[in-house]
Structure 1
């Protein structure tokens, strides 16, 4: 069950012009909530004496909340790339005026193109890899090893409805040596059936993985790199690898919800999220572990570790989410038959 939490943080001081709203509600991911508060929310509040309320949870649940409740109180929402694409098509977002964002120019050409296609601003890029207890399973270097019988009942994978669920099906198609777009995922779903005995859990929140490792429920997990530091900080002997064959990337984005009444603060928040200072702070392994999109940010080797940055970014493949969305309903049905029966 996904839990949606709400937190409000108040500060006093000056900075807003008379008559302007001092409020903004941000819907964000439910992982590393303490770091999100300390390194993003609280510093932003102090800039203009703002009252920032946050709601947190996984991307799919929060997207559904906005889609089903047009009178929600959310101003800006941080979603996965796929949910942002769907939300824009459904008309859930306000049209963004990119000229109001001074830091928009720090994004790459492709990132700016994505922003215009989704009416959402990418603020970090992530990809998935394999995290595992090296003391128990030895060394893992490839995706194909997930199908090894020695991992029976010891693997956790993202559910098909999550950010990296479709990417897991892409990996399964690669394992079957089939281009997923050529057979609409049939070979991948067959490979998932072969993987099923090894899967102890299909998870919806990566924040659950730390406890699963700690309790010995799993020894291996396919996970987005944004969760790696959290797991490694709470559980010893955890190694993370991105196979040299490649990985699949996803951008997390910020959108302005259609009924927002705090537009001035919405633009301030987005620009702040893209700023060099915020992007550098959020990239720290002690913070959100967010790979930067601001091209002015240069990471230390320590902070670049376990991110979609440098060599890993170069071998991260993009996913055609237009195609994914056209197939997703059928994939979810077939996935549930295989993985959740």
Structure 2
């Protein structure tokens, strides 16, 4: 068992949860861990293409025909470079594609090791998102599913529309091993992140969900949270406290405002008694480590709202990433006639 085998199996399992059905593999040594994981996943069809350039265009065709991002995998070095024409075509034609290039570890770069080139920004300017997680690390295991889900979601259609994403994955020898236990996924095999983009001002399904909860919720407002009055009015209608960071502009004298959130959340008794059922996060993350730790430890639905589709989620705890204007979202929830939480919930925060 090796950590990188577990890492690869986790990525593949999460991609299957996200609806990925096909992978195209151009065989090579360094890509073995991910190729083996793909071959072992019954929910994903694996197509083997010897030539990397052909593999790229075959994957492009799969994405074009289905609208679902396929995975295309090559080994390191010039093999990865051969994907560039297909990546550019996917970018120009808005075709979903998850491009995975295996790489050698950092200590084999710039020392003359074979099949080693600068791959991290290989497709710069032609991908919707690129990420290089480094050698699999157990301390980062909680981020693996988020990375896979984000790659699939951005490829399927972020703010810039569908297109290619690039994951550059470094592996060490030994390259063949059995995976261990995978980090747990979402209940029911749901994707780690659901992504919802506003068609106009606010996504209707999210508005309906927030307005109909009738449960204990919390609004966490950071920089860029939107119009303070709209945030406060929505909090009042939902009977949800507003945890307002100074940069949010929402830390104003109001019945819903909780300005001492950092101090309150240091109390174990308080956090046990006042555990929310849902969290609405507006704007940038708080600078407070205590608030960040509290959010990371909540296993409840968390909506992250940003007008530009930014993934402002260091702990990878957001279950739904919403591209929408926060002010418009607040006003849409108000207009929907939201159901308020039980009155004792808000009293507990005062």
User: Which bin holds the TM-score, normalised by the shorter protein?
Assistant: under 0.3
Larger Rg belongs to: 2
Q: Which has the higher contact order (CA 8 A, sep 6+)?
A: 1
Higher percent of residues as helix: 1
TM (normalized to structure 2)? 0.24
TM (normalized to structure 1)? 0.24
